[in-house]
Amino acid sequence: MINESIRYYEDQLCVSGMAIQPLLHEQVTPLYLYSAERITHNVNALQKAFASLGASFHFSVKANSNLAILRQLVSMGMGLDVVSGGELLAALKSGVSGEQIVFAGVGKTPSELELAVTHGVGWVNIENVAECHLLNQLAGKHGTSMRVALRYNPEVQANTHPNIATGHKYAKFGLNRDALLNLLNQAHAFPHLHIEGLHVHVGSQLEDTQGTQDGIRKALEIAEQFPQIHTLNLGGGFPTAYDDRPYPTYHDFAQSMLPLLRPHNLHLMLEPGRSIVADSGILVTQVLYLKEQGGINLVVVDASMTELMRPALYGAHHQVVPLLNAPEKRRVRYTVVGPVCESTDVLAKEVMLPDIQVGDYLAILDVGAYGMVMSNNYNLRPRPAEWMVEADGSARVVRPRQSFESLIAEL
């Protein structure tokens, strides 16, 4: 959705007051463009909402791993939450210390766990009994010890898209209650681990606070029995408004957690991803062709499911707007599609836009999270460039477009 940082001035879509269309001169589209100002706004709102809970924050790198964004977030006091060796190395490259990294994931390989040990990551979130043994052994081999949170699957239903609900009984994530209690009761069997936290993440893009509250209650019931548990990591999941329905805010989540957490002396950790970056990013694309088929007005653009997979993967909705608004033009119902050879390569269905011409530019909004990170080379399409617009309106490339040379060299 349009926000204070990404909005129209005199019918030109601007980021922090800088018109986007003139920037595109000789730039190849599609390209991602982020607003540093919007990211700052979101982090400030998060920190303010959870101040009374004394929470600490680790940005979930899976949502966006651009180094300029990671550096900005680290400079604002956030740690980083990673789920692979690649993300771990990207986090270190951004300048964060190992201690400020949380390493999560349902299937960490032995070499990834060893990376975590050798770089001294602050927390490893364990999801499997065998993983606990393996990490203990690796820490012993390197003559060190690791701090661990056990990821609990609380078997609660989160109000979200089924593909991003993670805390229900049939999800692959976390340890069930019995496995978790067994590990806690046998903590002495892991001399190189300090099992000091519980980790619960019930889902992403949560439409209400209920699933989180249910997860907290279940986790507290276990934490109460084990005084060595001093930290509760509640993951991410805070929603972004992709449409104009009302969504719970950081403040709503904090207020719903407060009465549950206040009686307990637990440190609260959070791993937000989407809510920090989603509405800071747009994908700029150019119209290649127009055609009418089956009574539908198709707009074929140069972006596709390879740059933005969310519509094809989840049926996700993203608002599409023109870079140059033309209020005087008649509005037409369009379906916006990409060039990829898949029928699912539809970026937006039945959107009302001013009468479009070939060569016009469109912006797909709210793509800063799970956008570029999910891009791929299907149909041998190069990955797009990423730009950052600073709060003063200055813009720079923060990751160049992948060249055909590097794409072909890897074949």
Ligand X SMILES: Cc1ncc(COP(=O)(O)O)c(C=O)c1O
CB closer to ligand X, 41 vs 201: 201
Alpha-carbon gap, residue 19 to 366, rounded angstroms: 18
Cα separation, 111 vs 116, whole angstroms: 9
Nearer to ligand X, 173 or 361 (CB): 173
Active-site residue (options: 263, 293, 341, 396):
341
**Least distance to ligand X from the beta carbon of 203, Å?**
8
Q: Nearest approach, Cβ of 342 to ligand X (angstroms)?
A: 25
User: Quick one: 201 or 399, whose CB is closer to ligand X?
Assistant: 201
State the DSSP H helix or E strand holding residue 386, giving kind and residue range, or none if neither. Answer: strand 385-389
List Cα–Cα distances, 291 to 53, 296, 300, 306, 402, in angstroms.
55, 8, 8, 22, 30
- Report the relative pairing of strands 146-151 and 12-15 from DSSP bridges: unpaired
Distance, CA of 257 to CA of 222 (rounded, Å): 17
Q: What angle do CA 41, 46, 51 make, to 5 degrees?
A: 130
Residues contacting 365, CB < 8 A, separation 6+: 1, 2, 6, 279, 282, 318, 319, 320, 321
- DSSP sequence for 31-92: EEEEEHHHHHHHHHHHHHHTGGGT-EEEEEGGG---HHHHHHHHHTT-EEEE-SHHHHHHHH
CB of 103 to ligand X, least distance (A): 11
Site for ligand X, rule CB under 6 A:
60, 63, 81, 104, 166, 201, 204, 235-238, 271-275, 369
| Smallest distance from ligand X to CB 168, Å | 13
From the list 387, 388, 373, 379, the residue with the least C-alpha distance to 407 is 379
Q: Which residue is nearest to ligand X (CB)?
A: 236
C-alpha R_g of the chain: 22
Active site residue 14: no
Q: Let me know: does 233 contact 125? Beta carbons within 8 Å.
A: yes
Return d(Cα 406, Cα 172) in angstroms, integer: 36
Q: Is 239 helix (H, G, I), strand (E, B) or coil?
A: coil
CB atoms within 10 A of CB 45: 16
Task: Tell me how far, at minimum, the Cβ of 8 lies from ligand X, in Å.
Answer: 28
Nearer Cβ to ligand X, position 236 or 354? 236
Which CB sits closer to ligand X, 207 or 390?
A: 207
Q: Checking DSSP bridges between strand 267-270 and strand 231-233, what pairing results, if any?
A: parallel
Q: How far is the CB of 115 from ligand X (least distance, A)?
A: 18
Shortest distance in whole angstroms from residue 19 CB to ligand X: 30
Rank residues 17 and 107 by Cβ distance to ligand X and give the closer one: 107
Three-state secondary structure call for residue 12: strand
Where residue 13 falls (left for φ over 0; alpha for ψ -120 to 50; beta otherwise) is beta
What's the closest the beta carbon of residue 273 comes to ligand X, in angstroms?
A: 3
Q: Annotated active-site positions, please? A: 341
